[in-house]
Every structure is written in structure tokens, then in C-alpha cells.
Amino acid sequence: MSAKLLELKRVSKSFGGVVAVKNLDLELNEAEMVGLIGPNGSGKTVTINLCTGVYPPDSGIITFKGIPINGKKPWEISKLGLSRTFQTIRLWNKMTVLENVMIGYVRFMPAHFLEAVVRTPRARFEERKAREAAFQALQLVGMAAFADKLAEDLSLGQQRLVELARALVSQPTCVLLDEPAAGLRGELVVQLGHFLHRLCKEKRTTFLIVEHRIQLVMHFCSRIVVLNYGEKIAEGPPEAIKNDEQVIAAYLGRRRGEYGVVRE
């Protein structure tokens, strides 16, 4: 049986009296692809932000690899092996693609700021490791040919792939993807699904996928969690979710034509 990686127990978060997430229970296991879907404003991105230290939960417990991460900073959580992408692309436009990916290499942190400034041998060694790891991550997502281009010169879809490379560069055990298919068209969405599925099986990487491209989660995720107004209203395999009356009423009813067929 796969080991449990990320667990939320009765986690809640409110903003100014508005409940964003309410008593959420969620588990992610090793080498698993899980979809997180629901209407806009249902708490999906807030859930990712809670798991990655952007916000502290008001109540409940979040653990990663059995370690409580409530109150930990985002970089502390990242060092544990939990990575993420963002709904809104966050690249430095005037930096190269390679440099943007290097930022995600959490081990590229010289022990002392002065070492980086004066370029000590250890700092240069760490930078070489970061460059090598970043280039390998770009190769993994098919963007190595763009390593020296500025981020601002890429298409939206290419920028999404660079963000994915940055999330993968430190070889995390769990990645939370916030609308990874946004900006991708047609066959590229299917290719992304196959790529994530291969990483899941070969590298045993766990993925939580927040996505409005319903066909992506229906076809590639083994389990789907549905949120509505911050609460979990359903959880189960795609076929069960597709036919759940509560899910249809809350979300899928107006989108049923989107998840019928995904070409191999």
C-alpha cells in the first residue's frame, strides 16, 4: 500500500468573515494523481496556499510526511519535498528561462550571503549544480532549447511548462499544480497528462491537480475531490464523480460536454 504523504484534517480558513475552506479532510498518497475540482471560488487555490505555507489555517492540522507543517514558511515546506505551481504565471520576465528554473532549486542556498557575493568555491559549486539541475528539468518538460531565451519572449503555454520545470527541479515528492493546462491547447493538454502520469509511475511523484480542463482530471487522475463553497461535497474515482448528482448540480451540469473523450 502506498505511503501517505500529505494530509489535511478538518482544516478551515476564513477571510474577513468569508469562509474559504471549511473542515476539509484530504489525503494524498505516494505515486498518486488526484484531481481537485469545483466552481470558481470553491476554495481550490486556497487549499494549495494552505498546504504550501502562504496562509496559516485557522483550525485543523496539515502534515507532510508525518511532519506538522502548520505555521512553516513556504521555503521550509519546499525543502521537505512539497512543491507547487501558480494559477497566475510568476516568472521573472527579464531573466532567462534557465535562471527562472534555477530559482526553484531549493538546495542552491550558500551557507552565508557573503559566499555568494565573493563567489567562493563552494558558492560556484552550488551554482553549477543548480544550473545542471535546471537544465535537466527543462529537458524533462521539452523546453531545453529555450534555456537562454528571456521568459517574456515565450508563449503562455511555454511559460506554463517553465513553471512546471521550476516546480520539478528540486525533485519533490509531491507537487500541487494550480491549473497547469491553462494556456495549452488541444493535443498539448493530452501530452501534459501523459507526462504527469509517467512521472507519477516512474518517479513515484504525487500530484494534486487543480484544473478546469475536466477531461484532464477525468482521464488521468485515479481519484477526484470536489469542493463547493469551501466544503468537500464528493470524493472518489472519475466514473463515480461524473455520475454524482450533487457534483452535477454544483459544477458538472454545465460542463458535461467537456469530459467525454480524450484522445490517446
Q: Are residues 128 and 232 in the same domain?
A: no
Q: Are residues 179 and 203 in the same domain?
A: yes
Q: Report whether pLDDT(253) > 60.
A: yes
User: Measuring CA to CA, how many Å separate 24 from each of 50, 234, 242, 248?
Assistant: 11, 11, 21, 20
What was the pLDDT predicted at 159? 94
What was the pLDDT predicted at 165? 96
Q: What is the mean pLDDT of residues 212-225?
A: 95
Which residue range is the domain that position 39 belongs to? 1-81+172-264
Q: How many domains does the chain have?
A: 2
Domain membership flag for residue 160 = yes
CA–CA–CA angle 112, 113, 118 (5° rounding): 105
Nearest CA-CA partner of 47 in 12, 17, 79: 12
Q: Are residues 65 and 181 in the same domain?
A: yes
Percent of the chain with pLDDT over 70: 90
Q: Are residues 160 and 178 in the same domain?
A: no
Instruction: Tell me which of 170, 200, 215 is where a domain ends.
Output: 170
Q: What is the mean pLDDT of residues 29-45?
A: 97
What was the pLDDT predicted at 183? 84
pLDDT band at 105 (very low <50, low <70, confident <90, very high): confident
Q: Are residues 38 and 159 in the same domain?
A: no
pLDDT tens-digit series, residues 131-182? 999 999 999 999 999 999 999 999 998 999 999 999 999 999 999 999 999 8
3-class SS string, 193-205: HHHHHHHHHHCCC
Q: Are residues 241 and 203 in the same domain?
A: yes
Q: Are residues 150 and 121 in the same domain?
A: yes
The pTM of this model reads: 0.90
Q: Report the chain's mean pLDDT, rounded to a whole number.
A: 90
Domain membership flag for residue 86 = no
Q: Are residues 8 and 38 in the same domain?
A: yes
Nearest CA-CA partner of 57 in 25, 93, 90, 105: 25
What was the pLDDT predicted at 108? 55
**Cα–Cα distance measured from residue 252 to residue 215, given in angstroms and rounded to the nearest whole number:** 11
Q: Are residues 113 and 176 in the same domain?
A: no
Instruction: Tell me which of 170, 191, 214 is where a domain ends.
Output: 170
Domain membership flag for residue 87 = no
State the CB neighbour count (10 A cutoff) for residue 7: 18
Q: Report whether pLDDT(263) > 50.
A: no
What was the pLDDT predicted at 51? 98
Q: Are residues 202 and 239 in the same domain?
A: yes
pLDDT band at 106 (very low <50, low <70, confident <90, very high): low
What was the pLDDT predicted at 122? 74
Instruction: Tell me which of 128, 144, 170 is where a domain ends.
Output: 170
Q: Report whether pLDDT(20) > 80.
A: yes
